[in-house]
Amino acid sequence: MKVVIFAGGMGTRISEESYLKPKPMIEIGEKPILWHLMKIFETQGFNDFVICLGYKSFLIKQYFMHYYMYNSDVTFNLQTNSYEVHQSNSEKFRVTLVETGLNTLTAGRLKRAEQYIGKEDFMLTYGDGLADVNLHDLISFHHSHGKIATMTSVQPAGRFGLLGLDNNGLVNSFQEKPDNGGWINGGFFVLKPEVFSYLPDDADHKMWEQDPIENLARDSQLMAYRHHGFWKCMDALRDKEELERLWQSGQAQWKIW
C-alpha cells in the first residue's frame, strides 16, 4: 500500500525555520520530521512513498538524491575522483517526488499525485504530524466498514477541525477549527481510489480538509479510527521545541523503531 505525504506548504506559522527550508525538512534530533514520519510507516512494513512537493521542493529532492551517501561510510580518492562505499545504514524507502505547485492547496496536491498512486487503497497524511498509530489496526478498521475514507481521529486541545461521530465511528459532520476541543482530524488516512471523484476540477484552489472531507461526511463515506495514543503536530516553533525535548529525553513515543 502506497503512502502519500503532503509536503508542499510554506509553514508560515513556523517561519523562524521555514524561511530556510520546507516545513517537513525542519529537524528533530538532527533528522527531518519527514524522516521521522516515514520511519513510522517503514517500521510497520510500508515503504513506498509519494511525496507532494511545493515550497522549496528542490531541498527535499536534494535530500533524497544524496540520502544513500549521507547514510554510508565512504572513502573518497580525490586523486582519481572516485569513491568506495563500505557500509550503508539507509532505509529501504522507495520515494516518488511529485511537483504539485507552489500555491496549490491540499486537494489539488492530492489530485496532481493521482497518476502515481494507482487504483488500489492508499494512505495519506501530513508531513508535520507524528503519532504511534498502529497502521495495521487502522487498515483493518478501514477494510471492515467498506466506506471510501478512514481518518485517524485524536483528542488534543481544541485547535483543529472537530469531528461529529456516532457510536460506530461514522463521521456525520466536520467543522474546521472550532472553539471547543473534541475528536479532531489527526491525518493518517486510508482511502479508496474512489476518493478522487470527490476532488473537483478546480481542486488546486480547494483544501482537502474542506470540500472533499465535508462532502465525504455528508455522503456517509467517512469513518474515524479513534487513536488514543501519542499524536503531535508541529504547527509552531513551540511544537518543534517540544518534539525536540521528547526526542532528547528518550520520551519520543512516535519512535517505534
Residue 48 lies in a domain: yes
Residue 129 vs residues 16, 33, 37, 70, 224: alpha-carbon distances, Å = 18, 8, 7, 24, 17
d(CA 83, CA 91) in angstroms, rounded, equals 21
pLDDT-derived band at 12 (thresholds 50, 70, 90) equals confident
Provide the domain limits for residue 188. 3-248
pLDDT tens digits along 136-193: 999 999 999 999 999 999 987 555 566 777 778 888 777 665 545 578 999 999 999 9
pLDDT-derived band at 75 (thresholds 50, 70, 90) equals very high
Is there a contact between 128 and 23 (Cβ–Cβ < 8 Å)? yes
Cβ within 8 Å of residue 76, ≥6 positions away: 82, 83
Written as one letter, the residue type at 71 is N
Residue 253 lies in a domain: no
Query: Residue 193: what pLDDT?
Result: 98
Residue 45 lies in a domain: yes
CATH of the domain at 60: 3.90.550.10
Residue 198 lies in a domain: yes
Total domains present in the chain: 1
Residue 255 lies in a domain: no
Is there a contact between 113 and 199 (Cβ–Cβ < 8 Å)? no
pLDDT tens digits along 16-73: 888 889 999 999 999 999 999 999 999 999 999 999 999 999 999 999 999 998 889 9
| pLDDT greater than 70 at residue 203 | yes
Residue 90 lies in a domain: yes
- The kind and range of the H/E element at 248 are helix 237-248
Is there a contact between 206 and 104 (Cβ–Cβ < 8 Å)? no
Cell reading at 205 = 484552489
